[in-house]
Amino acid sequence: MSQISFADLFSGCGGLSLGLSLAGFSGRFAIERDPMAFGTFSANFLDDPAGPSAFSWPEWLERKAWGIEELLERHKADLLALRGKIDVLAGGPPCQGFSFAGRRQEEDPRNMLFEKYVEVVKALKPKLLVLENVPGMKVIHHRRNVVELVPSPEAPRRQSFFDRLVESLDEAGYAVEGDLVDASRFGVPQRRVRLIAIGVRKDLLRWAPGGPRRAFELLELAGPAQLAELGLPATVSSAAAISDLEVEGAKLVACEDAESPRGFQEASYRAPRTAYQLLMHANAPSGMNSMRLARHRGDVQERFRRIISECRQGVRMDDASRKTYGLKKHRIYPMAAGEPAPTITTLPDDILHYSEPRILTVRECARLQSFPDWFRFTGKFTTGGDRRTRECPRYTQVGNAVPPYLARALGIALKGLLAEIAEQRSKFLGARGGQPIAAIA
């Protein structure tokens, strides 16, 4: 079977690319506008790639942070030259780019991302599409901040983000379906439900009568198979994922990360204790990346200590609890050691460690997203204020990423779908043997 090629749009730090690479796919190029996120992508896939993650980058595309608009403006002809040579186009526009919530500004350049994405799809004409987004992509948003899950029959026709995506890609020649998928079913130690959309080029539907729905059937099969292959239980708990990174019992050393100011510490890197940790440790360097511990004041540590000992773990703190502990922040989860973590977000202070009075490190968040320990993160650790809308530091990179183990399972499902298409086409043409995937026009 020929190696399956893919390109990654809006790649972020590379979670989706990593998972597809782990599934045996070959990366061609990736597009990411933010310099910090692309710096992390470049460090792992271009500068010094580890394992299967190397990309066959085209000579015409400069290795830098690109916006999709700039890509189309400067390299439309190069994209057209790749038509039919990319098997899978991964990634898709963030929902902010075509948001109807609030007062939508038609001239906002972010609203062009949706149209530009479809333009790239039309140029490349890949066999399959795979996108990941938040479940809210299926919610209908009105301009006055009114949200309907099911609009009234009398209301004018309105579209959710997902409806608009399906309609536009249908016009571009793709059958698309979406489903909600929980990453914890694929070895990710985190409750993370996301909308996965899969598209099949319409000319291939004659060989794939199940269309994109067949890919979701194969994904259902890929989950248990992946867990068995990796030697993981049905669900991986928070403690099973990060107990070897606890401060208690560890030697504290100075954080030597080039992006960190002096005065921070990190826990020494210790031997794995669980099957999941053993997977994460594989091929990791002795000097770990992104282990910096937060510096909490004494009163903050005492407050956190009370919360993790007195509050229900694994659930979001309610208003009464937040008032009791003097917390203004609305989203705070004390983790439960024996359960998968809550959804990892872009903010470092959303989740408290299950047994230690502190927030999680970038590396712990990455572990809970299923990034292996050899994966290096670059750029600032955090940012604040209005810079949050312009910068993508390490915590944000991790929180925005597609969990690699979820992406790996998606890759296995897509590989299976392409194999079935090739087999059906071969049978139809009367070939005596199986035809390689790359031979599908």
Positions annotated as catalytic residues are: 95
Helix (H, G, I), strand (E, B) or coil at 369: coil
Q: Which residue has the tokens 């403690």?
A: 239
User: Which segments within 67-223 are labelled E, that is strand?
Assistant: 88-90, 128-133, 140-141, 147-148, 174-182, 193-201
Burial (CB count within 10 angstroms: exposed 0-12, middle 13-18, buried 19+), residue 299: exposed
Q: Are 200 and 128 in contact (CB under 8 A)?
A: yes
Question: Which two three-digit tokens encode residue 267?
Answer: 């826990």
Question: Which two three-digit tokens encode residue 116?
Answer: 């530009």
Q: Which residues, 6+ apart, have CB-to-CB distance to 178 below 8 Å?
A: 137, 138, 162, 166, 195, 196, 197, 198
Nearest Cα residue to 36 out of 344, 290, 406: 290
Q: Are 124 and 7 in contact (CB under 8 A)?
A: yes
Nearest Cα residue to 131 out of 97, 104, 85, 80: 97
Distance CA 261, CA 264 (A): 7
Q: At what angle do helices 15-22 and 404-428 cross, to 10 degrees?
A: 50
Distance CA 347, CA 382 (A): 8
DSSP result, 178-242 = EEEEEGGGGT-SB--EEEEEEEEEGGGTTT-TTHHHHHHHHHHHHHHHHHHHHT--SS--HHHHH
Q: Which residues, 6+ apart, have CB-to-CB distance to 327 below 8 Å?
A: 317
Question: Which two three-digit tokens encode residue 195?
Answer: 């909308």
Bridge partners for 148 per DSSP: 140
Radius of gyration from C-alpha coordinates of the chain: 22
Helix (H, G, I), strand (E, B) or coil at 65: coil
Helix (H, G, I), strand (E, B) or coil at 8: strand
